[in-house]
Chain A
Amino acid sequence: MAALETIESFVEGAPPGELADVIADIKALTVSDPGLVSKLGPAFEKYNEEQFATAKLPGSTQPVIVSSHSSLGGGRYFDVESSTSFEYDHATQKASGAHSYVLEGAQAELTKSTLKSLSPYVKEHFPNAAYGVYPIENDSKVAIIIVANKYSPNNFWNGRWRSLYIFDPSSGALEGSLKVDVHYYEDGNVRLLTSKPIATSISSGTGAGIVKEMGNAEKKYQEELNRGFTSLSEGAFKALRRQLPVTRQKIEWDKVASYRVGQDIGGGSSRR
């Protein structure tokens, strides 16, 4: 693999909230070729758009989202709720140059009514999230995004929840994906990565109808995920290694040689 491709794959794999750490590591590993890092621009842009990077605009409290769906091209993005467009620096993850942005077009009304329902829904279920609704594909569809981050680097963990939905008003189809990414790295490296596709339809075609269906899908998914933890714990984890032997006692190591005589333990066969 070429060196640039290698460091691009490192950027792509950066856990939530740890892009700056990954970049620092890459810089230290490529001191002999300092020009390499300056070629990471496209990788940063892809990472930020896929991870729904958030930024705070000057004078605003509600964060705005960077994604391919809210891109105006040329490094500028728009946010409907605050009626702003802004410039985003993909390397430093900072927003600047905010301008007024007025949404017009065929999906403007649906976009605004979806936002109106989305805002209270997000506040009810996400303690710290950014959200947005954007007309896409030549004003033929609407994209809805929620991204929730919780970073706790002092305690060695970070997490991200991403919801993406595309609503097609002509068919009433609502499709998308829910993704969770949790990283825990105290004296180790543990990662939870989940992905769940969503495919449903909205008969009413209204913003309220869309958000109601999103709420149903997300509630159902989170309950499934909680069951997933239980099933892995009770299933695969238990099947790998017992907490104690069947006898519920630790091994008497000074008598371990006699275990072979005293009980059939299978003679150490690895295939059962």
Chain B
Amino acid sequence: MASADPFDSALDLLRRLNPKHTTKHLQSLISLAPDLTEDLLSSVDQPLSVRRCKQTGRDYLLCDYNRDGDIRPPLGAAGGGESGGGATPSEKVRRMEVKANEAFDVYRELYYEGGVSSVYFWNLDDGFAGVVLLKKEAKPGSASEGSWDSIHVFEAIDRARMTQYNLTSTVILSLSTSSTGLGDMDLSGNMTRQIEQELPAESDEQQIANIGKLVEDMELKMRNLLQEVYFGKAKDVVGDLRSVGSLSEAGRDREAQRELIGSMRR
């Protein structure tokens, strides 16, 4: 058997090990296979870290897209509008980044009622790209704790009269609760989804509106999916492992039902 590609194996391992400790596993993998460092850091999503802008005193989010070298806060509302540092976008894309930060501030308040958001844009040869970051932590100290990190990476490619949007979204959701009766319960993980769509975009405002809509629809879809997996699927598997009620009684009930249906058919 040909040996598997080490990078694919590293990703497979990260898909299996406890997602609550992805950052730790990532560090372990990098120490084991230093050649994979760049590839892993640019393709594995980790919980976002919060920094405070020295100029404005406002919080902003870091991720791999402003990871190395000169980290800059986002332009506009959520950041200080500091210039220099990081990959500075062109004047036009800069203006859009400022507006996008303002728009996603509104989005964040309406959906998250708190938290931190940051948007970064950069130029591409045939358009532009960016990342929309959102983070919220549920109040620690209450009966249940949690954190939500959204990482939306997109490309907006110019086409004749249309713009092609490629969006890859990851949500990292960690939840935990404990009590005397329950002991410890931890429900953590991440899910990733992608979408491609062509939309008309005749102005910068329309570009931001398109990106906003795509992110909003994606987050709604992913929130529903997370709800289904975390509270539906995981709970069902527990019920498959152990039955609260008696299995033989359940079996007798099913048998009786089958007989009833059978007799009705005759």
Contacts and interface: CB of A to CB of B under 8 A. Distances in A.
Interface residues of A, number: 92
A232 B185 contact: yes
A251 B216 contact: yes
Interface string A109-144: 000000000000001111100000000000000000
Given A226-B235, A237-B227, A253-B209, A219 B241 contact: no
Contacts of A218: 242
Given A3-B32, A25-B9, A257 B177 contact: no
Interface in A247-265: 247, 250-251, 253-254, 256-257, 259-260, 265
A251 B110 contact: yes
Interface stretch (A48-56, A65-73, A153-161, A205-213): A153-161
Contacts of A148: 241-242
Contacts of A180: 238, 241
Interface stretch (B15-23, B62-70, B154-162): B15-23
B191 A21 contact: no
Interface string B219-248: 110011011011101110110111110111
Contact of B13 (A10, A195, A229, A270): A10
Given A184-B233, A241-B223, A232 B144 contact: yes
A251 B10 contact: no
Nearest to B61: A270
Interface stretch (B83-91, B124-132, B145-153, B254-262): B145-153
A183 B219 CA distance: 23
B48 interface: no
B81 interface: no
Contacts of A22: 13, 16-17
A105 interface: no
A123 B230 CA distance: 28
Contacts of B209: 253-254, 256
Contacts of B58: 268, 270
Contacts of B112: 240-242
Contacts of B247: 123-125, 127
Contacts of A188: 15, 189-192, 229
B195 interface: no
A40 B182 CA distance: 35
Contacts of B186: 191-194
Nearest to A179: B183
Interface in B3-39: 3-6, 8-10, 12-20, 22, 25, 28-29, 31-33
A236 B177 contact: yes
A243 interface: yes
Contacts of A223: 244
B238 A225 contact: yes
A237 B145 CA distance: 9
Interface string A156-180: 0101110000000000000000101
A228 B185 contact: yes
Contacts of A100: none
B264 interface: no
B107 A28 contact: no
Contacts of A14: 16-17
A245 B99 CA distance: 21
A241 B172 CA distance: 12
A259 B136 CA distance: 21
B9 to A, nearest CB: 4
B10 A29 contact: yes
A127 B240 contact: yes
B54 interface: no
List the 9 closest A-B pairs by CB distance, nearest first: A196-B183, A190-B189, A188-B191, A236-B146, A268-B105, A253-B209, A28-B9, A245-B110, A265-B109
Interface of A: 1, 3, 6-7, 9-10, 13-15, 18, 21-22, 24-31, 123-127, 148-150, 157, 159-161, 178, 180, 182-185, 187-197, 218-233, 235-237, 239-247, 250-251, 253-254, 256-257, 259-260, 265-268, 270-272
Interface of B: 3-6, 8-10, 12-20, 22, 25, 28-29, 31-33, 58-59, 77-78, 99, 102-103, 105-117, 136-139, 142-148, 173, 175-177, 179, 181-193, 205-206, 208-210, 212-213, 216, 219-220, 223-224, 226-227, 229-231, 233-235, 237-238, 240-244, 246-248
